[in-house]
Amino acid sequence: MDFELSEDQQAFAETAREFAAHELAPHAAQWDREQTFPRAAIAKAGDLGFCGLYAPEHIGGLALPRLDATLVFEQMAAVDPSTTAFITIHNMATWMLGSWGTSAVCERWGADLTSGRKLASYCLTEPGAGSDAGNLKTRAELQGGEYVINGGKAFISGAGSTDVLVLMARTGGGGAAGVSAFAVPADAPGISYGKKEHKMGWNSQPTRTIAFDNVRIPADHLLGAEGEGFRIAMKGLDGGRINIATCSVGAAQGALDAARRYLHERQQFGKPLASFQALQFKLADMATELVAARQMVRLAASKLDAGHRDASTYCAMAKRFATDAGFNVCNDALQLHGGYGYLGEFPLERLVRDTRVHQILEGTNEIMRLIVARKLLESDVDIR
């Protein structure tokens, strides 16, 4: 097994690192403080291909392996997990549209999404259907040549500021088999958006509820076939879990780097903090957890790229471990900064706030444990 990155992979990572340093790092704290959605910066990411990393080539995507995409997301998340996380969600929605959309849908939105000129939101969660996504209530009824959509979604990233909604709605009976997927214009008549939620973190991206009141879309805006929506959603979430785990790894790397610098710069009792063995031990544990999380995420991405039968299990394990470990590393880095870590002038408090939600979204870490445990108990899954 080769753990070294290829020259192409190193080049992608370096390009993302430079982009993050020049376009994200100087502004991330301000975007967080002022709750600004940086569409211009995201469009610049699109110029580099970062808005369609693994989207199909026929809509302008790079069609990269998920492993290569993690290298890009990690570099950006090291300075701005919030904006990077939105870019990962946009990538997931764009990949869904390009993979299952009709020619009309792909022609209408594909190139604009992969270039970052337009942005997409992913609409699965509902007020009464969070972890129980198969029980969603939003309904789409076929009437002639149109689907008529009624219902509501909650906790939608980018809602009110994006152009396309990749929507999961019920077209059949109860349960997962009755769910279908759609591409919906974000400004379609009958769509209304709730207030921008006041959040602990992720302030550079808006989060709102969405209401659908007799929203009409052409029948060819169905993604895949009727009844395939839940399967499409779960395929998207496998990659989404890798993406959000990668954002935790990137944030943890940024926090660790900040802590290393601070331990050399800060002096107490006449010597630098780096000379205290207890703090050395803490730093060593942080680095070990970070490396373990990174390797688990890359393993899961490799399993997904290879179409491994247990890829979903690996994605769940990676998401659970990396988001827990990433948050802990950020929190420990804040502790090493003492009172300064709590101040807005340092990046630690923002990294802690932004990574906390990673343990909740794309399936809570409790749900990740259920996925892994059920697979272990119900099948001959091989995790060796």
Looking at the structure, tell me whether residues 175 and 306 fall in a common domain. no
Query: Which CATH number characterizes residue 330's domain?
Result: 1.20.140.10
Tens of pLDDT, residues 179-190: 999 999 999 999
Looking at the structure, tell me whether residues 55 and 133 fall in a common domain. no
Give the residue among 26, 19, 2 at the shortest CA–CA distance from 73: 19
Tell me the average pLDDT across 108-115: 98
- The pLDDT value given to residue 221: 98
Looking at the structure, tell me whether residues 45 and 184 fall in a common domain. no
Looking at the structure, tell me whether residues 301 and 222 fall in a common domain. no
Query: Which CATH number characterizes residue 63's domain?
Result: 1.10.540.10
Out of 178, 198, 226, a domain closes at: 226
Question: Nearest 5 degrees, angle CA 221-CA 47-CA 302?
Answer: 75
Looking at the structure, tell me whether residues 247 and 349 fall in a common domain. yes
Q: Which domain holds residue 71?
A: 7-115
Out of 175, 201, 226, a domain closes at: 226
Asked if the model's pLDDT at residue 132 lies above 90, the reply is: no
Tens of pLDDT, residues 292-347: 999 999 999 999 999 999 999 999 999 999 999 999 999 999 999 999 999 999 99
Asked if the model's pLDDT at residue 381 lies above 90, the reply is: no
Looking at the structure, tell me whether residues 74 and 172 fall in a common domain. no
Tens of pLDDT, residues 211-256: 999 999 999 999 999 999 999 999 999 999 999 999 999 999 999 9
Kindly indicate the confidence band of residue 379, based on its pLDDT and cuts at 50, 70 and 90.
confident
Out of 207, 226, 245, a domain closes at: 226
- The pLDDT value given to residue 184: 98
Q: Is residue 2 part of a domain?
A: no
- Which positions are annotated as active-site residues? 362
Tens of pLDDT, residues 64-79: 999 999 999 999 999 9
At residue 99, what are phi and psi to the nearest 5 degrees? -80, -35
Query: Which CATH number characterizes residue 197's domain?
Result: 2.40.110.10
| Integer Cα distance of 328 and 322 in angstroms | 10
Question: Would you say 102 and 277 are in contact if contact means Cβ atoms under 8 Å apart?
Answer: no
Kindly indicate the confidence band of residue 134, based on its pLDDT and cuts at 50, 70 and 90.
confident
Looking at the structure, tell me whether residues 234 and 373 fall in a common domain. yes
Kindly indicate the confidence band of residue 1, based on its pLDDT and cuts at 50, 70 and 90.
low
Asked if the model's pLDDT at residue 99 lies above 80, the reply is: yes
Q: Is residue 317 part of a domain?
A: yes
Number of domains in the chain: 3
Asked if the model's pLDDT at residue 129 lies above 90, the reply is: no
Looking at the structure, tell me whether residues 195 and 243 fall in a common domain. no
Looking at the structure, tell me whether residues 190 and 246 fall in a common domain. no
Select the more confidently predicted residue: 100 or 379.
100
The DSSP code sequence of 163-220 is: SEEEEEEE-SSSSGGGEEEEEEETT-TTEEE-PPPP-SS-TTS-EEEEEEEEEEEEGG
